[in-house]
C-alpha cells in the first residue's frame, strides 16, 4: 500500500485556505483524470469528496475509498441513493431515484472545485432536509474573486438536470479547464504529472437567503434542450 503523507484535501484546504485558480486548476485536472480513468474502466465512484482525495508530498492527488463504487453497464441506470450528503447530486435525493452514474460524479467534482476555489461548500444547511432542498433547488453563491470562466464551469457542473449537466468529455474542452493557468510548477522543481499518470487508489443557500457581501447568487442552470447552455 502506498504511503500518502500529504493527508487529504479537506485537511489541506483547512491549513492553507482557498487556493489560487492556477493551483486549483492543477489539482482539479488531476481529479478529473482520475475520475475519467474510473469511468473508462467501467466504474462510477459515487462518493467523491475532499476527504477521499489524498495528497502525496508533492501535492499530487490520489482518489481513494471505492466502498460505494458501482459497475457501469450500458443502458443500465443505478438506483441506490448513496454518497455524502453535501456532495450528493440532486437526482440521488429523489424518493425513487434512477440515475446515470457518471453524471453524479460530475456533480460531486463540481462541489470539490467550488471548495478548491472558495474553501467552503456551495450547499450547506443546519439540517439534512434543508440541505437537500437547497441542493435540489440548485441555488448557491459564488464569491466575486472567482473568474468568469470558473463561474461558468461551476454552473455547468452544478446543473440540477443531469441530462443538461456538462459531461466529462465536454468538461475537458471547457476554456477554464483547457487553458493553462499555471505557466510554471507550483512546487519548486516539481512538475505536475501528465493526467494519464494520475493514480487512483482503490481501497446551499435557500432562494430567499441573503447573499454574503462580495458574492453573487447563481440561479439554477437551465441550458437549452440538447446540450449545455452557451
4, part of any domain: no
Residue-wise pLDDT for 12-35, tens only, equals: 999 999 999 999 999 999 999 999
Model confidence at 151, in pLDDT bands (50, 70, 90)? very high
Strand 43-44 with 70-71, pairing: antiparallel
Whether residue 63 contacts residue 53, with contact meaning beta carbons closer than 8 Å, is answered with yes
Overall number of domains in the chain: 1
200, part of any domain: yes
225, part of any domain: no
Residue 68, pLDDT > 90, answer: yes
Q: Write down the H helix ranges in the chain.
A: 9-16, 21-40, 101-118, 128-137, 148-157, 168-171, 175-178
What percentage of residues in the chain have a pLDDT greater than 90? 67
Strand 140-143 with 43-44, pairing: unpaired
185, part of any domain: no
3, part of any domain: no
Q: Measure CA of the first residue to CA of the last residue in the chain; give whole Å.
A: 44
Check: pTM over 0.85? Answer yes or no: no
223, part of any domain: no
Q: Which domain holds residue 43?
A: 9-180+192-218
Q: Which of 47, 65, 105, 152 is catalytic?
A: 47
82, part of any domain: yes
| CATH number of the domain bearing residue 133 | 1.10.510.10
Model confidence at 107, in pLDDT bands (50, 70, 90)? very high
Q: Kindly state the average pLDDT of the residues 62-73.
A: 94
The yes-or-no answer on residue 8 being catalytic is no
74, part of any domain: yes
Amino acid at each position: 500500500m502506498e504511503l500518502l503523507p500529504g493527508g487529504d484535501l479537506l485537511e489541506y484546504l483547512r491549513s492553507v485556505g482557498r487556493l489560487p485558480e492556477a493551483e486549483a486548476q492543477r489539482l482539479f485536472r488531476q481529479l478529473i483524470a482520475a475520475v475519467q480513468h474510473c469511468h473508462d474502466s467501467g466504474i462510477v465512484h459515487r462518493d467523491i469528496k475532499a476527504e477521499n482525495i489524498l495528497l502525496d508530498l508533492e501535492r499530487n492527488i490520489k482518489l481513494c475509498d471505492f466502498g460505494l463504487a458501482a459497475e457501469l453497464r450500458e443502458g443500465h441506470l443505478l438506483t441506490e441513493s448513496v454518497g455524502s450528503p453535501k456532495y450528493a447530486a440532486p437526482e440521488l435525493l429523489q424518493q425513487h431515484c434512477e440515475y446515470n452514474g457518471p453524471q453524479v460524479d460530475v456533480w460531486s467534482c463540481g462541489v470539490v472545485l467550488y471548495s478548491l476555489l472558495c474553501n467552503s461548500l456551495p450547499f450547506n444547511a443546519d439540517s439534512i432536509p434543508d440541505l437537500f432542498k437547497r441542493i435540489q433547488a440548485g441555488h448557491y453563491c459564488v464569491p466575486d474573486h472567482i473568474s468568469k470562466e470558473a463561474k461558468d464551469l461551476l454552473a455547468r457542473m452544478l446543473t440540477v438536470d443531469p441530462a443538461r449537466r456538462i459531461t466529462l468529455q465536454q468538461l475537458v474542452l471547457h476554456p477554464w479547464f483547457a487553458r493553462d493557468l499555471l505557466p510554471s510548477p507550483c512546487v519548486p522543481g516539481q512538475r505536475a504529472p501528465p493526467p494519464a499518470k494520475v493514480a487512483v487508489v482503490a481501497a446551499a443557500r435557500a432562494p430567499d437567503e441573503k447573499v454574503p457581501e462580495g458574492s453573487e447568487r447563481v440561479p439554477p442552470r437551465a441550458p437549452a434542450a440538447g446540450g449545455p447552455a452557451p
